[in-house]
Amino acid sequence: MGKYPIKLITRGEKMKKITLSKRGFFVEGTADVTPWGGGRASIPMKGFFVEHLKDIKENINDNGFGVEKINGAICEVFDDFGKCKEYRRQIVVGDVKDFVFDNHYENN
């Protein structure tokens, strides 16, 4: 992906330089789903890793709950540097109803 040099300052020590290598993106969020009984609901997604942002749509999930259909999702996207993650942005994928946004912000 890319290398990002940063300066690491530790209390009482000289400044050190380290380089982080970006692996891809870590994604978590809330899915808008249609349960088997009908209607609409929201459910937290299981977080997942993708190398490219274009792969997010294929990986949105219902956290193993088992629903009739996943309509869309509100995704919080982080740059993934291995043990370190940095928030990048929010992406909305598919058809997401207003109540899902309310639930997402209440739980995050």
Contact 6, 15 (CB under 8 A): no
Both structure tokens of 76:
């919080």
**Looking at residue 17, what is its pLDDT?**
74
Distance CA 19, CA 7 (A): 9
**Looking at residue 73, what is its pLDDT?**
98
The total domain count for the chain is 1
Within a domain: 48:
yes
Within a domain: 54:
yes
Name the average pLDDT for the chain.
90
Contact 18, 28 (CB under 8 A): no
Residue 27, domain extent = 23-107
**Looking at residue 12, what is its pLDDT?**
67
Q: Which residue has the higher pLDDT, 87 or 11?
A: 87
Distance CA 32, CA 34 (A): 7
* In the predicted structure, residue 4 carries a pLDDT above the cut 90: no
Within a domain: 14:
no
| Amino acid (one-letter) located at 53 | L
Within a domain: 18:
no
Within a domain: 8:
no
